[in-house]
Structure 1
Amino acid sequence: MPSISLSSVNITFLGTASAQPSSTRNHSSLALRLGGDVWLFDCGEATQHQIQRSSVKMGNISKIFITHTHGDHIFGLGPLLASRLNGAGGMVAGVHDPREQELVAQDQPVVEIYGPSGTRAYVRSALVYSHTLLGAPYVVHELHDAREPLLPESNLPLNASELPHGQDMPIDAESNTWPIICKDALVQVSAAPIHHSVPCVGFVVSELPVPGKMDPALYIPHLKRTKSPMSLLSRLQGGETVELSDGTVLTGPGRRPGRKIVILGDTHDPSPIADLALDCDILVHEATNAHLPDVDSNTKSTDTHESVEERTKSRGHSTPQMAGKFATRVKARKLVLNHFSARYAGDEDVNEESRNIMGAIKSLAESEYLGGEVLCARDLWGFDIPISSS
Structure 2
Amino acid sequence: MPQILSSVNVTVFGTASATPSSSRNHSALALRLNGDTWLFDCGEATQHRIQKSSVRLGKNIKKIFITHTHGDHIFGILPLMAAVLNGAGGMIDVAQDTRLQSSTTEEVQPLEIYGPLGTRAFIRAGSFYSYTNFGAPYVVHELRFPSDPSDGDYTELPLRLPERPGRNIAQTDGVWKDIFRDDIVSVSAAPILHSVPCVGFVVTELPIPGKINPKDYIPHLKRNKAPMSTMRRLQDGESIELPDGTVLHGPPRKPGRKLVILGDTYDPSPITDLALDADLLIHEATNAHLPGTDPRTKDGDTYEGVEAQSTSRGHSTPQMAGAFAKRIRARKLLLNHFSARYVDDGESEEAKNIMEAIRGLAMQKYDGPVVCARDFMSFDVELHN
Alignment TM-score > 0.5, same fold: yes
Contact kept? 1:240, 1:251, Cα under 8 Å: yes
SS at match of 1:26: coil
Structure 2 residue 314 is matched with structure 1 residue 316: yes
Contact kept? 1:91, 1:97, Cα under 8 Å: no
Percent identity between the two aligned chains: 62
1:382 to 347, 357, 378: 378
Q: Equivalents in 2 of 1:252, 1:97: separation in Å?
A: 53
Q: Equivalents in 2 of 1:362, 1:157: separation in Å?
A: 48
SS at match of 2:50: helix
Q: Deviations over 1:113-135 (max 9, x none)?
A: 00000000000011111111111
Structure 2 residue 71 is matched with structure 1 residue 71: yes
Give the corresponding residue for 1:163: 164
Q: Equivalents in 1 of 2:140, 2:92: separation in Å?
A: 30
Q: Deviations over 1:102-123 (max 9, x none)?
A: 7965321210000000000000
Q: Deviations over 1:319-338 (max 9, x none)?
A: 00000001111111111101
Q: Deviations over 1:193-249 (max 9, x none)?
A: 110000000000111110011122222233334555431110010111122223332
Gap change, CA 1:291 and 1:225, over 3 Å in 2: same
SS at match of 1:32: strand
Structure 2 residue 301 is matched with structure 1 residue 303: yes
Q: Equivalents in 1 of 2:153, 2:291: separation in Å?
A: 45
SS at match of 2:219: helix
What amino acid does structure 1 have at the position aligned with 2:219? P
Q: Equivalents in 1 of 2:14, 2:162: separation in Å?
A: 28
Structure 2 residue 366 is matched with structure 1 residue 365: no
Query: Any gaps of 5 or more consecutive residues in structure 2?
Result: none
What amino acid does structure 1 have at the position aligned with 2:72? D
Give the corresponding residue for 1:261: 259
Q: Equivalents in 1 of 2:132, 2:241: separation in Å?
A: 60
Contact kept? 2:355, 2:372, Cα under 8 Å: yes
Give the TM-score, by structure 1 length.
Answer: 0.93
Structure 1 residue 91: deviation in Å? 6.9
What amino acid does structure 2 have at the position aligned with 1:79? P
Q: Equivalents in 1 of 2:43, 2:241: separation in Å?
A: 55
Q: Equivalents in 1 of 2:193, 2:146: separation in Å?
A: 15
Structure 2 residue 87 is matched with structure 1 residue 87: yes
Q: Equivalents in 1 of 2:41, 2:56: separation in Å?
A: 16
Map 1:165-204 onto structure 2 (within 5 A): 166-172=166-172, 175-204=173-202
Q: Deviations over 1:166-192 (max 9, x none)?
A: 0001111xx211112111111111101
Q: Equivalents in 2 of 1:226, 1:127: separation in Å?
A: 65
Q: Equivalents in 2 of 1:226, 1:49: separation in Å?
A: 60
Structure 1 residue 378: deviation in Å? 0.6
Map 1:42-57 onto structure 2 (within 5 A): 42-57=41-56
Structure 1 residue 92: deviation in Å? 8.1
What amino acid does structure 2 have at the position aligned with 1:125? A
1:219 to 208, 217, 220: 217
Q: Equivalents in 2 of 1:81, 1:64: separation in Å?
A: 10
Contact kept? 2:193, 2:267, Cα under 8 Å: yes
Structure 2 residue 151 is matched with structure 1 residue 154: no
Give the corresponding residue for 2:40: 41
For the aligned residue pairs, the C-alpha RMSD in angstroms reads: 1.9
Query: Any gaps of 5 or more consecutive residues in structure 1?
Result: none
Q: Deviations over 1:11-39 (max 9, x none)?
A: 11111110010111100001001111111
SS at match of 2:228: helix
Give the corresponding residue for 1:61: 61
Q: Deviations over 1:114-170 (max 9, x none)?
A: 000000000001111111111100000000011357898121122311112x00011
Range moving further from structure 2, 209-218 or 278-287: 209-218
